Amino acid sequence: MCMRIAIASDHRGYKLKESIKILLKFWGYKFEDFGAANEESSDYPDFAKAVANALKNGYDFGILICGTGIGMSMAANRFGGRAATCRTVEDVKMSREHNNANILCLAEHTKNYEELVKTFLETPFSEEERHERRIKKFDL
């Protein structure tokens, strides 16, 4: 696996980020932690920007965690990512297959995070013309 993953959280997502890092290491993925370094109050847009920039610089995927996943998703999309807040495996599959999401956003309280992360990293984008056409319209 040569895939490189950028991961970050704000203070509320710190514990889940640390758990996901253990999984990534166990599964053999290369990753870099872009913060937060602890549970002290921090600003989620800073971390969303860092991960979105990492993708622009060669990382394959990003994982962001905050209280709901929504703030991280909004910020990451603002900075050029294709971030999706996902709660179910179906959300994850559709975000990858149809939207070519490159950043998975999770809520701090996500219980099935192992299944969601694995599905995100293993589900390919469907290169059907209709999906590619729609993705291209993001940049118009």
CA 115 remoteness from chain centre: 14
3-class secondary structure, 119: helix
> Which residues, at least 6 apart from 128, have a Cβ–Cβ distance to it below 8 Å?
none
Stretch (H or E) spanning 83: strand 83-85
One of 11, 98, 109, 131 is an active-site residue; which one?
A: 98
3-class secondary structure, 116: helix
Tally Cβ neighbours within 10 Å of residue 56. Answer: 10
Active site residue 109: no
The catalytic site residues sit at 98
